[in-house]
Structure 1
């Protein structure tokens, strides 16, 4: 894949999708496994350089410490803590691909925007969060607070463009689609295991500081 210039995400392509799946599998899921064992939700995030798709930082949900530490917010917060300790680690947000395992909620899409990122990619949709993982707050907030029907927000706007990895996989040719779909199925199965673990612990005392479970 050629270099992606800042602000130029280019068309969906299997090389980019494969790399984003790599990051979910190798970098985010291990963090999420540890986070779920502490009572946190299954949502994680990562930042990559557009230029070479190298990992900048990966993180997972930390709501047992602070209810604002959704995966995306935790990723941004931890990244800036690293930059504060070592300014050489700073990456221009215009040169960052922002990856979320689940479609960002209103808090997280706002955080991504305020952090200066012009994009985010997500694996699971809001509907998946509600239907497969029994966490429907994202869609409820959109409807109750912003008066949008479920899922009703502009995925392409003046601040960011949102990309569904599932849609990107479907856009690939048949051979590439089959290989990527098989990997996606494996990721989906792993998150179902993590979801069962989270659902079994969310009523425990360790989760008492999470208002919206």
Structure 2
């Protein structure tokens, strides 16, 4: 089911809350992944965060967001939306699940991470550990429902244009990350 109002809000949060943090994170040598948590009831932002792998290789954008959420005033996760800029890796999917979220939304797919951002590790790990082909995990399962923002947007041309604008910003950040990644000590950079 499409929900253009929800898609618009998710794009707002990525553009105005996550992206500025990610710019600073990439400047410090981190990857381009970020996340946020919103309330389902009114779509208000609770917390936004970005990748902090230069501090700890486990602090992906989603893990950083969950850490920040639990450091503040966590509430019942069934009342919340988990938003990720990129489709979460298996570690982050597990963390989102263990934290009790029944959902997550993402802008870029695993294939986008591999093909557009030159970060193929998510798909390689799923294939090597679980024998899953690209896109092979169940996005609707007993724990959560995962949806892309494109799916939530439907065919709304204004939202497609907005996604394209944000994609261009992330592509530029990805190029900056790729230029500097050899100088950092992140495993699987």
Same fold (TM over 0.5): yes
CA offset at residue 168 of structure 1? Answer: 2.2
Residue in structure 2 matched with residue 167 of structure 1 by the alignment = 151
* TM-score of the pair, normalised by structure 2: 0.98
Matches within 5 A, 1:177-188: 177-188=156-167
- The answer to whether residue 111 in structure 2 is matched with residue 127 in structure 1 is yes
Structure 1 residue runs without a partner (length 5+): 1-10, 84-89
Structure 2 residue runs without a partner (length 5+): none
CA offset at residue 138 of structure 1? Answer: 0.3
Deviations 1:163-188 (A, max 9, x none): 0111222x24xxxx111111111000
Cα root mean square deviation, aligned: 0.8
Which of 12, 26, 31 in structure 2 is aligned with 1:41?
31
**Contact 1:142/1:151 (8 A) holds in 2:** no
Residue in structure 2 matched with residue 212 of structure 1 by the alignment = 188
Structure 1 SS opposite 2:25 = helix
Q: How many residues are paired up?
A: 189
Matches within 5 A, 1:75-114: 75-83=65-73, 90-114=74-98
Distance 1:12 1:56 in 2: 23
CA offset at residue 58 of structure 1? Answer: 0.3
**Contact 2:6/2:152 (8 A) holds in 1:** no
* TM-score of the pair, normalised by structure 1: 0.87
Residue in structure 2 matched with residue 70 of structure 1 by the alignment = 60
CA offset at residue 81 of structure 1? Answer: 1.2
Distance 1:119 1:167 in 2: 14
